[in-house]
Structure 1
């Protein structure tokens, strides 16, 4: 009768346990990674001690103060997989919020020539913000690549357009100028900067943001480009493309505690 090699059997069992442990750990790590991908984003917004009225100066000022870029890179809907290279920087002052977007995409379009027009159909960057957690009102600021701007306030499905004075007070600069054009095939690089005074938030009275934590999200879209796309800074877990989703906003902390 043949003798069993218990040492060999033990080694085989150990290898099986090691393999099982490896796969269990890998599955756990993948699960944690997937969960992390769905967590709302958070960032600290630095304060700048200046009154900047000219938006074309924002990129240089941000460079000099070494402000960090943040990627808008969440592809939330598999039917729209294209992801242009989009990043933004944000700061604030005693007078308002300062924004700078940088975009590289395979084509660019700017047919909307008026404020409060359908800028989302063009190459468009967007900033949504809920400045007061005590109510559900939020604002959407949507800029096409030549600086035409749409502003609304309210709740999902119940929006109010900003008036001409509010729009005029948001100063904008675009590296592509201000004249509309048909879609241009790329690749194309462009930048947009904006000075957003606190009066922009016309359903609120905001004098300062120091120490506040507010909900917000940043987007890039192009509904009528040759390759439509819908990407976000903070992820959105909905079935269809929808940016008016405050339950999926991330968080901005203005200044340090």
Structure 2
């Protein structure tokens, strides 16, 4: 029985190696998109953890690091899209939203990066849902670089099928609770998500499985492993 349980744990806890990309100068969104497409494989946010929410959009992501920045590209196909929130730290998870929960030191303290499909960002830090320290709007807007193929203007729900991409550049300085952190060689933990609370096709998908009765992304015990090469 113990061997079976250990085998199940291995299956449920994914490991992702974050490739280092070399680039001289300042990479723009076009550079980042091209290099990720050329050098990095696509991973998928495709785990349906809760039977009450069976809708499954197609969600792929590519991640790498370069010059102490995390480069992240999401590619999404979904029936309905929604983008009503435009203020930093607003409830972007109610819109069409992709998320990156990142525990850099693998110590249980994690950053929740949440992006709606027009790039509005929610960012906080702490050990669990009830204890979060929110980043200031100035830091979010000054440090994070983000571009969506849907633009940056808000809109009501659109039906009929949509495809969109988002490029996010996260300099290590955005990890304000880990000053001086170096990504290269870091062994960390993370999960990647897709949700859309206020759309007609509400859904909750994850990269690494989550074993809870109800949807809950704030569960670092279910993060997978990220190894920065």
Partner Cα distance (1:85, 1:109) in 2? 16
Which has a greater percent of helix?
A: 1
1:172: how far off?
0.3
Aligned equivalents of 1:224, 1:37: Cα separation in 2: 34
**Number of equivalent positions:** 223
The equivalent position to 1:150 in structure 2, one of 116, 122, 126, is 122
**Aligned match of 2:108 in 113, 136, 143?**
136
Q: Which runs of 5+ in 1 are unaligned?
A: 1-30
For 2:219 and 2:174, locate their aligned partners in 1 and report how far apart those are by CA, in whole Å.
21
CA shift, 1:155, in A, is 1.6
1:182 lines up with 2:122 in the alignment: no
Indicate yes or no: 2:76 matched with 1:97: no
Superposed CA offset, 1:142-187 (max 9, x none): 0000011110001211001101232021000000000000000021
Residue 116 in structure 1 maps to residue 82 in structure 2: no
Instruction: Say if 1:200 and 1:185 are closer, same or farther in 2 by CA, change over 3 A.
Output: same
Is 1:209 the counterpart of 2:180? The answer is no
TM-score normalised to structure 2 length:
0.92
* 2:97–2:114 Cα contact (<8 Å) kept: yes
The alpha carbon displacement at 1:55 in A equals 2.8
> Any stretches of 5+ residues in structure 2 without a counterpart?
none
Indicate the RMSD between aligned Cα atoms, in angstroms.
1.9
Q: 1:197 to 1:37 in 2, by over 3 A?
A: same
Does residue 225 (structure 1) correspond to residue 165 (structure 2)? The answer is no
Question: Aligned pair in 2 of structure 1 residues 242, 201: CA closer, same or farther (>3 Å)?
Answer: same
Trace 1:5-24 onto structure 2 (pairs within 5 A).
Answer: none
- 1:68 partnered with 2:14: no
Task: Report the equivalent of 1:172.
Answer: 146
CA contact (8 A) 1:56 1:173 kept: no
TM-score (norm 1): 0.82
Counterpart-to-counterpart distance in 2, 1:246 and 1:49: 30
Which structure has the larger Rg?
A: 1
Partner secondary structure for residue 186 of structure 1:
coil
